[in-house]
Amino acid sequence: MIMPYTAKIKVTLRQSILDVQGKAVEHALKNLGYHTVESARIGKYIEVTINEESLMEAERICNEISQKLLSNPVMENYSFELEQVN
């Protein structure tokens, strides 16, 4: 039976890659007076619904689309949580 699964995917820059947007946020926070906040890093958050027969199959699809479309494997890492929709 086909069931809907929600995938919550986070795509982040690899630690070795300079995060320019993150640096800008750090500066802005300092300027706003938030001196206790440090090391901001900015990534993408993607939510998709996957209709598949099993969690394993949904996981396979989620890995594939993350690698092929949603992230750039040279510069970015991804991780996801997958759960069945009730």
Residue in 10, 1, 2 with CA at minimum distance from that of residue 48: 10
Most distant CA pair in the chain, distance: 54
Residue 68, token pair as written in the block: 């092929």
Q: Is 84 in the site for its own copies (CB under 8 A)?
A: no
Footprint of its own copies on 56-75 (CB under 8 A): 61, 64-65, 68-70
Rounded CA gap, 82 and 77, in Å?
17
Q: How far is the CB of 77 from its own copies (least distance, A)?
A: 11
Of 69 and 74, the one with the shorter C-beta distance to its own copies is 69
In the complex, the residues that contact its own copies under the rule CB under 8 A are 2, 10-12, 25, 28-29, 32, 34, 36-52, 61, 64-65, 68-70
